[in-house]
Structure 1
Amino acid sequence: MDSALVVRALAALAQEHRLAAFRLLVQAGPEGIAAGALAEALDIAPSSLSFHIAQLANAGLVGQRRQGRSILYSADYGAMAAVMGFLTENCCGGAACVPAIDCHPSSSTEKDVA
């Protein structure tokens, strides 16, 4: 991953509401969260949420899609993994010391098998 893209992603996350929004989107999984529910969970105005989501989207960390009359936001797990990979690629002097970061979220409709 290009270091300029990593800087843009980290800059987007370096704000309290954006970091909180991104963490909620990561927790939500690939289905994402409706804009209104996300604004309510963060206790911010919808117009403020739009501003913050635009910053995250510009950094490539968040996507959106329309479902009926709602806009759903979701984390881009590939971009998140790329940023984490960039930050840890020289871990332990380049030796493999931990498993590679690879996030494959399951949808909320899938059940864990014990």
Structure 2
Amino acid sequence: MKNSEAVEAFVALGQESRLNIFRLIVQRGDIGLTPTQMIEKLGIPNATLSFHLKELVQASLLVVERQSRNLIYRPNVALVTDLSEFLLENCCSGKTCAIKRVNKKVACK
């Protein structure tokens, strides 16, 4: 992953409503959510939601599929995985390590 791709994803997630939308969609995984379902859960107006979804799709964080009359939004798992790997690439001075959580902090084994 290039720095510019990571920056684009982080910029898209750097707004609270978009982060909330993304996290909600990630919770549904490959099932995804329709805009109507997102509006019901988050209480975001339709026009505002459309703007935020467009930004997340443009940053490749979400994929969208038309099913009949509905749009289904899902996380782009490949990009999220690449982004995670990009962030941890130099963990433990570049050595292979297993990440574990210790008291809500990440530590290398």
Same fold per superposition (TM over 0.5): yes
Equivalence for 2:49: 49
Equivalence for 2:35: 35
- In structure 1, the gaps of 5 or more residues are 100-114
User: What does 1:71-82 correspond to in 2, within 5 Å?
Assistant: 71-82=71-82
Could you say which structure has the higher strand fraction? Answer: 2
Q: Which residue identity lines up with residue 29 of structure 1 in the other structure?
A: G
CA distance in 2, matches of 1:42, 1:51: 15
Select the structure with the greater relative contact order (CA < 8 A; seq sep ≥ 6): 1
- In structure 2, the gaps of 5 or more residues are 100-109
4+ residue runs over 2 A deviation: none
Query: For 1:54-108, what per-residue CA distance to the aligned partner results, in whole angstroms no more than 9, with x for missing partners?
Result: 1111111001111111111111011001111101100000011226xxxxxxxxx
TM-score by length of 1: 0.83
Q: Which residue identity lines up with residue 62 of structure 1 in the other structure?
A: L
The total of aligned residue pairs comes to 99
Equivalence for 2:89: 89
CA distance in 2, matches of 1:39, 1:75: 17
TM-score by length of 2: 0.87
